[in-house]
Structure 1
Amino acid sequence: MQILVYGAGVLGSYLAHELERGGHKVTMLARGRRADELEKNGNVIRHYLQFRTTVHNVRVIRELQPDDVYDLIFVVMKYPDFESVLPALAANHSRHIVLMGNNASPGPMEEYLQTHSPVPKKVAFAFQSIAGWRENGLVISVRSPRTKINIGGLGQDLSWRSVIDQALVNTKFKWSYQKDMDEWLKSHFVFILPLNFITSSYNGHLRRAAKDKKLLHLVIDAVDEGHQVLEKNGYTVTPAAQKQFARKQRKLFYFLLKIMLSTPISGILLSDKAVSANETTALQHAFNQLKKRANMATPAWDELQRYSPVDSPNK
Structure 2
Amino acid sequence: MRILIYGAGVIGSLYAVIFSNAGYDVSIYARGPRLEKLRSKGLLYLENKNIKKARVKLCSKLSDTDIYDFIFLTVRNDQLKKALTELRTNKSKCIVTMVNNLFEYQELEKIAGMGRILPAFPGAGGSITDDILYASLTPRFIQLTTFGEITGVKTKRSKYLAKIFKKSKIPYKEIRDMYKWQLCHLAMVIPIADAYYEAVCPKKVGLEKNILQKTAKRLKRNFIFLKKDLGEISPWKLNIFIVVPVKILAFALRFLFKSSFSDKFMYRHSMKARSEMIGLHREFYKYMLERLILLGFIGIIRTD
Q: Which amino acid aligns with 2:32?
A: G
- Per-residue deviation, residues 42-67 of structure 1 (Å, max 9, x unmatched): 211125xx534331131111122211
Matched to 1:196, the amino acid is A
| Compared CA separation, residues 289 and 155, structure 1 to 2 (3 A) | farther
Deviations 1:92-144 (A, max 9, x none): 101111000211114121343224xxxxx432111112222222222221544
Q: Does 1:38 align with 2:51?
A: no
| Matching residue within 244, 254, 270 for 2:250 | 254
CA distance in 2, matches of 1:131, 1:203: 24
Matched, 1:132 2:131: no
Does the CA-based 8 Å contact 1:19-1:171 persist in structure 2?
yes
Q: Which moved more, 1:225-234 or 1:151-160?
A: 225-234
Highest relative contact order (Cα 8 Å, sep 6+), 1 or 2? 1
Tell me, in whole angstroms, the C-alpha distance in 1 between the residues paired with 2:221 and 2:163: 39
CA deviation vs aligned residue, 1:201-243 (integer Å, no higher than 9, x gap): 2244443x32433322221221122223334544632112212
* Residues 41, 57 of structure 1: 8 Å contact kept: no
Report the AA paired with residue 63 of structure 1. Answer: K
8 Å Cα contact 2:180/2:230 also seen in 1? no
Structure 1 gap ranges (5+): 116-120, 303-315
Shift of 1:155: 4.6
* 1:172 correspondence with 2:166: no
Q: Distance in 2 between matches of 1:24 and 1:269?
A: 26
Q: How far apart are residue 272 of structure 1 and its match?
A: 4.9
62, 65, 81: which one pairs with 2:63?
A: 65
Aligned to 1:237: 233
User: In the aligned structure 2, how far is the partner of 1:263 from the partner of 1:58?
Assistant: 33
Q: In the superposition, relative to structure 1, how do residues 169 and 201 fare at CA in structure 2: closer, same or farther (>3 Å)?
A: same
2:111 alignment counterpart = 112
Deviation at 1:284, TM superposition (A): 1.3
8 Å CA contact 2:199, 2:208 repeated in 1: no
**272-281 or 188-197: bigger deviation:** 272-281
Query: What is the CA–CA distance in structure 1 between the aligned matches of 2:135 and 2:201, rounded to whole Å?
Result: 20
Match of 1:56 in 2: 54
> Scaled by the length of structure 1, what TM-score is found?
0.84
The number of aligned residues is 293
Cα 1:128/1:104, change in 2 over 3 Å: same
Distance 1:145 1:268 in 2: 12
Shift of 1:261: 1.9
Matches within 5 A, 1:1-315: 1-47=1-47, 50-107=48-105, 108-115=107-114, 121-144=115-138, 148-159=144-155, 160-207=157-204, 209-234=205-230, 236-243=232-239, 245-250=240-245, 252-274=248-270, 276-293=273-290, 294-295=292-293, 296-297=298-299, 301-302=303-304
Please state how far the C-alpha of 1:267 moved relative to its aligned partner: 3.4
Distance (whole Å) between structure 1 residues aligned to residue 163 and residue 100 of structure 2: 24
* Contact kept in structure 2, 1:225 and 1:298, CA below 8 Å: no
2:176 partner letter: K
Contact 2:75–2:99 (8 Å) recurs in 1? yes
TM-score by length of 2: 0.87
Distance 2:29 2:165 in 1: 19
Hey, what's the Cα distance between the residues in 2 that align with 1:261 and 1:168?
A: 30
Are the aligned partners of 2:184 and 2:226 in contact in 1 as well (CA < 8 Å)?
yes
CA RMSD of aligned residues (A): 2.3
Q: Is the 8 A contact 2:8 2:30 kept in 1?
A: yes
